[in-house]
Amino acid sequence: MVSRHGHCLNDLLFRCQSGQLNAEIAAVVSNHPDFADLCASHGVAFHHLALPTGAGADAKRAQERQVEGLVESQQIDLVVLARYMQILSGEFCEFLKGARSTSTTASCPASRARSLTTRRTSAA
Protein backbone atom coordinates (compact mmCIF):
# COMPACT_ATOMS: atom_id res chain seq x y z
CA MET A 1 0.00 0.00 0.00
CA VAL A 2 1.47 3.34 -1.07
CA SER A 3 0.37 6.96 -1.36
CA ARG A 4 2.26 9.67 -3.26
CA HIS A 5 5.73 9.13 -1.78
CA GLY A 6 7.15 6.42 -4.03
CA HIS A 7 10.70 6.01 -2.77
CA CYS A 8 9.83 3.08 -0.49
CA LEU A 9 7.81 1.36 -3.22
CA ASN A 10 10.57 1.92 -5.77
CA ASP A 11 13.12 0.43 -3.37
CA LEU A 12 10.98 -2.67 -2.73
CA LEU A 13 10.32 -3.21 -6.44
CA PHE A 14 14.01 -2.82 -7.29
CA ARG A 15 15.18 -5.15 -4.51
CA CYS A 16 12.69 -7.85 -5.53
CA GLN A 17 13.56 -7.59 -9.21
CA SER A 18 17.32 -7.63 -8.53
CA GLY A 19 17.08 -10.60 -6.15
CA GLN A 20 18.17 -8.61 -3.10
CA LEU A 21 14.83 -9.28 -1.41
CA ASN A 22 13.44 -12.80 -1.40
CA ALA A 23 9.80 -11.87 -1.87
CA GLU A 24 7.06 -11.73 -4.47
CA ILE A 25 5.04 -8.56 -4.79
CA ALA A 26 1.54 -9.75 -5.66
CA ALA A 27 0.01 -6.30 -6.08
CA VAL A 28 0.32 -2.64 -5.20
CA VAL A 29 -2.65 -0.69 -3.87
CA SER A 30 -2.74 3.09 -3.83
CA ASN A 31 -5.20 5.86 -3.20
CA HIS A 32 -3.47 7.79 -6.05
CA PRO A 33 -2.74 6.63 -9.64
CA ASP A 34 0.83 8.01 -9.60
CA PHE A 35 2.77 4.71 -9.62
CA ALA A 36 0.74 2.62 -12.06
CA ASP A 37 3.43 2.91 -14.76
CA LEU A 38 6.22 2.06 -12.31
CA CYS A 39 4.40 -1.09 -11.22
CA ALA A 40 3.67 -2.04 -14.84
CA SER A 41 7.36 -1.72 -15.69
CA HIS A 42 8.07 -4.30 -12.97
CA GLY A 43 5.20 -6.56 -14.01
CA VAL A 44 3.28 -5.96 -10.78
CA ALA A 45 -0.51 -5.50 -10.69
CA PHE A 46 -1.54 -1.99 -9.62
CA HIS A 47 -4.89 -1.23 -7.99
CA HIS A 48 -5.97 2.39 -7.75
CA LEU A 49 -8.55 2.70 -4.99
CA ALA A 50 -9.39 6.40 -4.98
CA LEU A 51 -10.15 8.07 -1.70
CA PRO A 52 -11.57 11.57 -2.25
CA THR A 53 -10.12 14.44 -0.24
CA GLY A 54 -12.09 14.81 2.96
CA ALA A 55 -13.57 11.32 2.69
CA GLY A 56 -15.29 10.25 5.86
CA ALA A 57 -14.78 7.14 7.94
CA ASP A 58 -17.37 5.16 5.96
CA ALA A 59 -15.60 5.78 2.64
CA LYS A 60 -12.22 4.91 4.16
CA ARG A 61 -13.58 1.69 5.65
CA ALA A 62 -15.15 0.75 2.29
CA GLN A 63 -11.72 1.19 0.67
CA GLU A 64 -10.16 -1.00 3.38
CA ARG A 65 -12.75 -3.70 2.68
CA GLN A 66 -11.66 -3.65 -0.97
CA VAL A 67 -8.07 -4.21 0.15
CA GLU A 68 -9.22 -7.04 2.45
CA GLY A 69 -10.88 -8.70 -0.54
CA LEU A 70 -7.69 -8.40 -2.56
CA VAL A 71 -5.60 -9.82 0.30
CA GLU A 72 -7.92 -12.80 0.61
CA SER A 73 -8.36 -13.47 -3.13
CA GLN A 74 -4.62 -13.22 -3.82
CA GLN A 75 -3.73 -15.12 -0.62
CA ILE A 76 -1.35 -12.35 0.43
CA ASP A 77 0.72 -13.10 3.52
CA LEU A 78 2.28 -9.70 4.19
CA VAL A 79 0.94 -6.19 3.72
CA VAL A 80 3.61 -3.49 3.54
CA LEU A 81 2.71 0.11 4.17
CA ALA A 82 5.25 1.79 1.87
CA ARG A 83 4.54 5.34 2.94
CA TYR A 84 0.78 4.81 2.82
CA MET A 85 -0.33 8.11 4.28
CA GLN A 86 -3.76 7.21 5.64
CA ILE A 87 -4.82 6.30 9.17
CA LEU A 88 -6.01 2.70 9.19
CA SER A 89 -9.14 1.73 11.08
CA GLY A 90 -9.05 -0.61 14.05
CA GLU A 91 -11.08 -3.10 12.02
CA PHE A 92 -8.48 -3.14 9.25
CA CYS A 93 -5.63 -3.51 11.76
CA GLU A 94 -7.48 -6.48 13.28
CA PHE A 95 -7.84 -7.98 9.80
CA LEU A 96 -4.08 -7.67 9.28
CA LYS A 97 -3.26 -9.27 12.61
CA GLY A 98 -2.04 -12.85 12.65
CA ALA A 99 -1.21 -14.48 9.34
CA ARG A 100 -1.51 -11.16 7.55
CA SER A 101 1.25 -9.12 9.12
CA THR A 102 2.18 -5.53 8.43
CA SER A 103 5.69 -4.23 8.07
CA THR A 104 4.90 -1.03 9.89
CA THR A 105 2.31 0.00 12.41
CA ALA A 106 2.84 3.74 12.09
CA SER A 107 -0.53 4.26 10.39
CA CYS A 108 -2.52 2.16 12.84
CA PRO A 109 -4.12 3.64 15.94
CA ALA A 110 -1.73 3.34 18.89
CA SER A 111 -4.14 1.11 20.79
CA ARG A 112 -4.04 -1.43 17.94
CA ALA A 113 -0.41 -1.07 16.92
CA ARG A 114 1.02 -3.17 19.74
CA SER A 115 -1.19 -6.12 18.81
CA LEU A 116 0.10 -6.38 15.24
CA THR A 117 2.83 -8.83 14.40
CA THR A 118 5.73 -8.01 12.13
CA ARG A 119 7.26 -10.54 9.80
CA ARG A 120 10.58 -9.81 8.10
CA THR A 121 11.51 -11.38 4.81
CA SER A 122 15.16 -12.39 4.62
CA ALA A 123 17.29 -11.23 1.72
CA ALA A 124 18.27 -13.77 -0.92
pLDDT of amino acid 98: 60
pLDDT tens, position by position, 83-104: 777 778 889 888 888 655 544 4
Domain residue ranges of the chain, discontinuous segments joined by +: 7-113
For domain 7-113, give the fold: Rossmann fold (3.40.50)
pLDDT of amino acid 81: 83
Residue 116, classed as helix, strand or coil, is coil
Q: What number is the average pLDDT over the span 3-13?
A: 90
Q: CA 80 from chain center: how many Å?
A: 4
Size of the chain, expressed as the number of residues it contains: 124
The mean pLDDT value of the chain amounts to: 79
Taking CA atoms, 44 is separated from 4, 22, 40, 58, 72, in Å, by 17, 15, 6, 29, 17
What global pTM score does this model have? 0.75
pLDDT score of 30 more than 50: yes
More confident residue, 22 or 115: 22
